[in-house]
Structure 1
C-alpha cells in the first residue's frame, strides 16, 4: 500500500492523540466544576465542556473517515493480489469439538486452550505489526502471532491489535468497542468459513420495547448482543460503563431458561459481560446459572486483545458444534429475536411472544374490530390448548394508538409430512374454532401463517387480533382480509361456518398431496359448502377413524 498507507496511519495516530488531549481537558474542567461555588462560573465551565465534547465528537468522526479511507485503500490494493484469508482462517480455527463442554471449566478449555497447556492457534499478522508487538511483548508475540503475506484477514487483525483503546465515557462507547471485535472476527468466520456456517449478530441498544414515547428501549428486557445460527440464539452479551458485576446481574435478569423444544439436550449457551475496557466470557446454563470464564481480559492491553480474538475464533467453532445438536425445526424463531410485519412487531422469548401493533386505531378500522373485542376473546378462551394463553394481558398505550399482548406457548411452523399430520392439524383448528364460536366470536383469518405447531400432533390457532363478534356483517365498503372471497359469506355475513370454509380451503390448497383420499375430499367438500360447524366437523369420519383404531 506504500507511502499513502503510512501517511494515513500517521494521521490516525495524530487524531487519536488529539482525542486523548481533549478528554484530559474535559477531566480537568470537571474537577474545576466540582470545586466551583459560583453559579455563573459553573455555567461557563459547563459550556466549555460542551464545546470540548463537540470537538471530541468531530475528531472521532475524522478518525472514522480516515480509517474508512485506509480500509478502502487496502481493499483496492488487495484486488490486485491473491487473498489467502480463507486458508488462514481454516488454519486458525480449532478442529471440530468432539464433545460439547458441560460446565464452565470445559468451556474455558475450548475458548482458551493455551491456558490449559493445550494446542492453540496463532493470529496471522503483517510483518510490521508482528515486530512492533514483539518489541514490547517478545514471548507473547512468538507464541500467539505469526507473520503472513498481506490478506484481508491479516490486515484486519493487524489494524485491530494496533488501534488505541480509549477509555470509554459512556455505555455506548463500551458497546462500540466490543462490537468492533465481535463484528470483525465473527463476520470473518462467516465470510471465509468453508462449511458455510454463519453466526448472525444483532445489537439491540436502539430497539424500542415500550409502548410509550419515553426513552425505554428493548435492551431493558433483552441482552445487548445476540448471536444466532440456524434461527437459534447461542450467544448473548451485556455491556455496562464501568461495573462488570452490574453487567453480570443484568444478563442474569434478562436470561430465560432454554426451551427444550428448541434446544434439545443442549446444556448451555455462550455469553459475555463487558464494562470499561474489561471483557469476560460466561457459561450460561440451561437453568440460567452463570459461571464466569477465566481469564478476565483488559482490551487496553495488546496481549489481552490477542487472547480475545483467538477466543472469538474458538467460539465460532464451538457454536457450529452446538448448532448441530439442536432439533431441526422449521420456522423456529431465535430467543430474543424480532419479526416486523408492517405495523406489527413480534418479539420472541423462550416460550412466549410479545406482539405489538402501532397505529392500532387504523388497524381496528381496517379490520372492523376493536380492543374490547380482542381483549375479551383472549380472556374468554383461557384454558384451551388450541388457542394462545395470555401471559401479559392485552394493553393499549397512551392515547390508544398502540397495542401489546404477551402470549404463549411459543410454537414453530407446522411440519406436515403425511395425511395423519394433516388430520391432526385440522382437528386442532376445529377444536380452536369450537371454543371461539361457543364464546360468540369468529376468527376471520384461518390461514397457515396463523397456525403453529406446539409439539408433534398438537397445533395452535393464533392471531386473535382479527376476531370479531359473530355474526360479522360485511359492509359493502369493507376491504376483504387476505384470501377472503364472497363464497365464504352467508347473506353478507361472516359466520362460524365461514371460518370452517377457510379451513377447508386451507386443507385443499396447501395439503393437496395428503388430502386425496375419498374421506379427506368429502370432509373438505362439507367444510367449503358450509354444511358443518366445528362440533360436527370433529365427529367427521376422516378425523374420527384414527381415534377408533387407537381404541381397538
Structure 2
C-alpha cells in the first residue's frame, strides 16, 4: 500500500510539471513537442486513475480482510446502468438528467455510508454490495466510480472527458464512440474547435469547454455557443433535421450541463442549461454530476438509433502522410514543421502554395481557401506549422465512381484545375482518386494542393507517385504533361469504351494539354 501511495505522489508531481509547461508555452516550442506533452499528460492521468483505483481496491480488501475475486461483471453492470432513454425535446432534458439510472452507481460500503450520512438523498443514487449483490463483482466500474467521487475533484473533468467515454466505448461498440480532447491545445484551431468533442456514429452529439478558473465559467458557456454548435454539416445531410446537442462547461471546480439547439429557420444557436451548476469541491455535487453524466450517455444511446449515415464528423481529425486536418465549417489543415518537412525535403515552399491557391481561386473544379472571417492562409504560424482553411467540406473518395457520367464529371473537374495550375507554370504531382472529394451539390473537387511544384523540375523522393513508370521525362523532369499522364493512369484506368481508350492513349503520349483534353469527344458522348 505504501508503495502505491509513493507512485501516486510522483505521478501527480509529473502531471503538474508538464501542465506548467503547457500553461505557459514557449513560442519556440514546436507544435509536435507540445502535442507530445499533451499525450504524456493524458497517459499520466490514466495511470493516476488506475493507481487511485488500485489504492481504493487495496484499502477495501484490507478492511475486509480478504482479496478481491478475479471475476469482473462490470460490462453487465454498466449495460444495465446505462439503458437507453428517449427524450423528445430540450424541455425534457432537465428531468432526464435527474432520473434514476438503470441501477444505482456502485461504490464500496464505507464510502456509501459516509456520503449518505452527509446527504440522505444520495441513497437512491449509490449502491454497495449490501443494496445490490452485483456491486460485489463489478470491480472496475465500482473502483472507477469510487475514485471519481472522492476528494480528487481536480480529476473529475478527466473522468468525464476521457475515462467515461473510453469505458462506454469499450462496452458499447455499436455506438462507434470517438473522442478528441484538446483541453491544453493553444493552436489557432482551438479558437474554432471545442475542447472536447465526442462523436457517436460520426455525429457530434456531446462536447465540452474547459477553463482553469471558476471566474471563467461564463466564458466557457459562451464558447459552447460559438464553437461547432451543429451535430453535422447540414449541407452534407440535406433535408435531415438536426438533433439537439448535449454539452458541458467546466471552469475550475464548477461543472454544468447544457443542451444546444440550432434554429432551422434562422440559424440562431440556443444554449439551454439542463442541470444545476455543480461545485465539485462538495461530495454530494460530485455524485450528482457523475449521475447526470451517466444519464447523458443514456440519452446518447437512444439518439444514436436515429442518426443518418455520416461520412465526415465535425471536428474529426483527417490524417495524411505529411499533416492532418480537422473539419469545422471548413477543413483546418495543418502540416507540422513545414520548413523541415517540405522545404527541407525539396517538395515546395510557402510562396509556391500561395501561388497555387491564387491560381485556382474561383475555379469550380478545385478546393478553395475559406475566407469567411478566419485567417484562412496559407500561412505559417508562430511555431512554423503550415495552416490553411479549406472549403467546401465534401465527402471523401477512395476509388473511381461506378457511373460513367460521374467519372466524366470528376475527370473534367481535375482537368479544369490542372489547366489553371499549368497556366501559372505549376504542376499538382499527386493526381489520384483519394485526392478528389464530392460536395453535397454533386460537384467534384481536386484537393491536396500542398504537393504542387514548379513545372519542368525534378521531383523529390517524398512524392512516390511522381516516380511511377512513364511519369517523368528525360532527366527525371516532371512537366505539365506528367500531370496528365497521372490522369490517364490513375483516373482513366479501367474505364471501358473506345473513346476513353483514345483519350487515355493521347494523355499517356503527352500529345494533349489540359485545355485540349477538355475538348475531347469522350466528355460529350452519351454513355
Under TM normalisation by the shorter chain, which class is it? 0.7 to 0.9
Higher relative contact order (CA 8 A, sep 6+): 2
- Structure 1 distance, partners of 2:490, 2:85, is 44
Conserved 8 A contact 2:246-2:257: yes
Q: Does 1:260 align with 2:229?
A: no
Question: Which of 177, 181, 184 is the aligned partner of 1:203?
Answer: 181
Residues 369-384 of structure 1 mapped to structure 2, 5 A cutoff: 369-384=348-363
Q: Deviations over 1:9-65 (max 9, x none)?
A: 9x79x99xxx9xxxxxxxxxxxxxxxxxxxxxxxxxxxxxxxxxxxxxxxx999879
Question: Which of 389, 409, 426 is the aligned partner of 1:424?
Answer: 409
**Number of the residue aligned with 1:214:** none
- Structure 2 distance, partners of 1:385, 1:309, is 50
Q: Does 1:304 align with 2:285?
A: yes
Alignment CA distance shift 1:497-1:321 (3 Å): farther
| Greater Cα shift, 526-535 or 404-413 | 526-535
**Number of the residue aligned with 2:437:** 452
Alignment CA distance shift 1:337-1:502 (3 Å): same
- Structure 1 distance, partners of 2:110, 2:56, is 17
Q: Deviations over 1:260-285 (max 9, x none)?
A: 14564223322111123221111122
For residue 480 of structure 1, report the CA deviation from its aligned partner.
Answer: 6.6
Conserved 8 A contact 1:424-1:457: no
**Number of the residue aligned with 1:282:** 258
Conserved 8 A contact 1:394-1:405: yes
- Structure 2 distance, partners of 1:435, 1:75, is 71
Q: Does 1:494 align with 2:478?
A: yes
Conserved 8 A contact 1:379-1:390: no
SS at match of 1:366: coil
**Number of the residue aligned with 2:122:** 140
Q: Does 1:95 align with 2:84?
A: yes
For residue 74 of structure 1, report the CA deviation from its aligned partner.
Answer: 9.4
> TM (normalized to structure 2)?
0.76
Alignment CA distance shift 1:109-1:527 (3 Å): farther
Q: Deviations over 1:392-427 (max 9, x none)?
A: 23223469x543222211223127551333333222
For residue 447 of structure 1, report the CA deviation from its aligned partner.
Answer: 2.1
- Structure 1 distance, partners of 2:200, 2:516, is 44
Alignment CA distance shift 1:136-1:208 (3 Å): closer
Residues 468-507 of structure 1 mapped to structure 2, 5 A cutoff: 468-469=453-454, 471-474=455-458, 478-479=460-461, 481-484=463-466, 485=468, 487-492=470-475, 493-507=477-491
**Number of the residue aligned with 1:407:** 390
The structure with the largest alpha-carbon Rg is 1
**Number of the residue aligned with 1:272:** 248
Q: Does 1:293 align with 2:274?
A: yes
Conserved 8 A contact 2:258-2:272: yes
SS at match of 2:345: helix
Conserved 8 A contact 2:233-2:314: no
Alignment CA distance shift 1:366-1:297 (3 Å): same
Conserved 8 A contact 2:209-2:223: yes
SS at match of 1:353: strand
For residue 229 of structure 1, report the CA deviation from its aligned partner.
Answer: 3.0
Residues 531-550 of structure 1 mapped to structure 2, 5 A cutoff: 531-546=511-526
Conserved 8 A contact 2:247-2:260: yes
For residue 105 of structure 1, report the CA deviation from its aligned partner.
Answer: 1.4
- Structure 2 distance, partners of 1:327, 1:423, is 29
SS at match of 1:271: strand
- Structure 2 distance, partners of 1:370, 1:250, is 35
Residues 428-443 of structure 1 mapped to structure 2, 5 A cutoff: 428-443=413-428
Unaligned stretches of 5+ residues in structure 1? 20-59, 167-172, 211-217
Q: Does 1:156 align with 2:143?
A: yes
For residue 446 of structure 1, report the CA deviation from its aligned partner.
Answer: 0.8
Q: Report the number of matched residues.
A: 464
SS at match of 2:156: helix
- Structure 2 distance, partners of 1:143, 1:397, is 49
- Structure 2 distance, partners of 1:280, 1:107, is 13
Q: Deviations over 1:194-230 (max 9, x none)?
A: x5324233321333515xxxxxxx5444322221233
CA RMSD of aligned residues (A): 3.7
- Structure 2 distance, partners of 1:134, 1:431, is 71
**Number of the residue aligned with 2:38:** none
> TM (normalized to structure 1)?
0.73
For residue 139 of structure 1, report the CA deviation from its aligned partner.
Answer: 4.0
**Number of the residue aligned with 1:225:** 196
For residue 340 of structure 1, report the CA deviation from its aligned partner.
Answer: 4.9
**Number of the residue aligned with 2:317:** 338
- Structure 2 distance, partners of 1:517, 1:324, is 44
For residue 351 of structure 1, report the CA deviation from its aligned partner.
Answer: 2.6
Q: Does 1:314 align with 2:298?
A: no
Residues 23-42 of structure 1 mapped to structure 2, 5 A cutoff: none
- Structure 1 distance, partners of 2:236, 2:512, is 37
**Number of the residue aligned with 1:56:** none
- Structure 1 distance, partners of 2:148, 2:474, is 74
- Structure 2 distance, partners of 1:126, 1:221, is 42
- Structure 2 distance, partners of 1:75, 1:141, is 20
